[in-house]
């Protein structure tokens, strides 16, 4: 079970961000796509559709509650951007999907090691890890396929990760939530001798997929909380939707 535990503790160094809106000039997205399946609406924005080999994608992702009465769950990725890597792996919840020119899904790589000189985990990471081990040790969670295991684990983390208020658990009717600026300096990047990334407006860097060779790629956002096979739908937000693809060009 320790492998499952580590997959959620990504161990990034998170830089301090400016607290005042407007300290960093707003940057426009080069491409924007959206999708709706009531009560869920998605918006994906990409800063630049041309990416250099060895670099990462910079994006914004918004989740809109189109309902006028009921709330929908706020995805864990909005409280902790590191969760995007896990949800991309299990293809569940709110996630990004990237395919290559052969329409093969790009592998998701997690920078496992901690920053040099930093703590490898926090008290909160350790507490969540213990809870995940206990949850996955339950009889009903044995003998699952890797995809179903990751799906259940991600749903568990979305429910159980400590939050400070309802604002961090729910998206209220008619409201939306958006990813913020995020530019982690990972151990992998440091070891490769890459410079510390700088802020790119309010876009977030996606360090889970590295473009290693030139070519044509595509990215889209997806939302999938459809019930497990054989289980009935209990909430209106248990739907699947995805945005159109955005074409990417990776150059030397």
What's the pLDDT band for 46 if we cut at 50, 70, 90? very high
Lowest mean pLDDT among 13-22, 51-60, 239-248: 13-22
Question: What does the pLDDT average to over 225-237?
Answer: 89
Report the pLDDT value the prediction gives residue 17, as an integer from 0 to 100: 33
**Strand bridging mode 40-46 / 57-65:** antiparallel
User: Over pLDDT 90: what percentage of the chain?
Assistant: 38
Burial 94-118 (b: 16+ CB within 10 A, else e): bbbbbbbeeeeebebebbeebbeee
Of the candidates 11, 67, 108, the one whose C-alpha atom is nearest the C-alpha of residue 239 is 67
Report the pLDDT value the prediction gives residue 251, as an integer from 0 to 100: 96
Q: Total structural domains in the chain?
A: 1
Range of the domain at 242: 2-251
**Strand bridging mode 50-52 / 246-251:** parallel
Dist CA 141 CA 144 (whole Å) = 6
Report the pLDDT value the prediction gives residue 230, as an integer from 0 to 100: 86
pTM: 0.71
Q: Is the pLDDT of residue 90 over 60?
A: yes
Lowest mean pLDDT among 2-11, 71-80, 100-109: 2-11
What's the pLDDT band for 27 if we cut at 50, 70, 90? confident
Question: What does the pLDDT average to over 46-75?
Answer: 93
190-204 pLDDT, tens digit each: 667 777 777 888 898
Lowest mean pLDDT among 29-43, 83-97, 187-201: 187-201
Of the candidates 56, 71, 99, 77, the one whose C-alpha atom is nearest the C-alpha of residue 223 is 77
């Amino acid at each position: 079970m320790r492998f499952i535990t580590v997959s959620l503790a990504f161990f990034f160094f998170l830089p301090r961000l400016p607290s005042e809106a407007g300290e960093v000039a707003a940057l426009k997205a080069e491409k924007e796509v959206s999708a709706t399946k009531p009560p869920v609406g998605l918006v994906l924005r990409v800063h630049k559709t041309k990416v250099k080999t060895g670099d990462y994608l910079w994006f914004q992702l918004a989740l809109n509650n189109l309902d006028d009465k009921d709330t929908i769950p706020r995805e864990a990725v909005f409280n902790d951007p590191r969760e995007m890597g896990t949800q991309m792996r299990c293809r569940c919840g709110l996630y990004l999907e990237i395919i290559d020119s052969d329409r093969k899904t790009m592998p998701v790589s997690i920078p496992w090691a901690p920053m040099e000189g930093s703590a490898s985990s926090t008290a909160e990471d350790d507490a969540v890890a213990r809870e995940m081990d206990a949850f996955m040790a339950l009889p009903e969670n044995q003998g699952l396929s890797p995809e179903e295991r990751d799906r259940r684990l991600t749903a568990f983390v979305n429910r159980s990760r400590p939050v400070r208020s309802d604002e961090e658990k729910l998206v209220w009717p008619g409201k939306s939530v958006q990813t913020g600026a995020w530019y982690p300096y990972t151990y992998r990047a440091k070891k490769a001798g890459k410079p510390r990334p700088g802020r790119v407006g309010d876009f977030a860097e996606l360090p889970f997929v590295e473009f290693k060779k030139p070519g044509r790629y595509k990215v889209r956002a997806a939302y999938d909380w459809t019930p497990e096979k054989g289980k009935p739908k209990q909430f209106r937000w248990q739907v699947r939707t995805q945005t159109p693809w955005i074409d990417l060009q990776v150059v030397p």
